[in-house]
Amino acid sequence: MGFFQEFKEFAVKGNVVDLAVGVVIGGAFGKIVTSLVEDIITPALLTPTLETLQLDNLADLVIPGTAIKYGLFISAFISFIVVAFALFLMIKGINKLKREAPAEPEAPAGPTQEELLAEIRDLLRNKQ
């Protein structure tokens, strides 16, 4: 099998396509959450703090005399909490929607080994 044929089989497998769709949706979801956090939640929570410190932006929250921007860390942390909570709610909803798999009907019990041996014995007896 040629290299390109193997690659084609790999690329069109359902799992690869599902993964690609998941990555694209995850990227879009990440942008939505980032906007929610940076444009709505963080300003709402930190505006009083920023005004008290006379700052305009979270990036301006730094430890004096260093390059440590703890304001950006706070924003990233809030973003993580929102993403984790949103994923939790989404998975909880998906699990609720899943129906329990119907129980597979049990296979009818066949004859026991002794019954089969008795039938063979009877057939052999009748042949003679």
Span 3-45, pLDDT tens digits: 888 887 777 776 777 777 888 888 888 888 778 877 887 778 7
| Amino acid 14: pLDDT | 63
What is the pTM for the complete model shown? 0.48
For residue 102, is pLDDT > 70? no
Q: How many CA atoms lie within 13 A of 125 on its CB side?
A: 6
pLDDT per position as a tens digit, 62-89? 788 887 878 778 778 877 887 788 778 8
CA-angle at 28, arms to 86 and 96, nearest 5°: 35
What average pLDDT does this structure show over 97-114? 74
Q: How far apart are the first and last CA of the chain?
A: 58
**Whether 34 contacts 76, CB under 8 Å:** no
Superfamily of the domain at 3-99: Large-conductance mechanosensitive channel, MscL; domain 1 (1.10.1200.120)
Please state, in angstroms and as integers, the Cα–Cα distance from residue 29 to each residue in 11, 82, 83, following that order: 24, 11, 9
Sorted by where each begins, the domain ranges of the chain are: 3-99
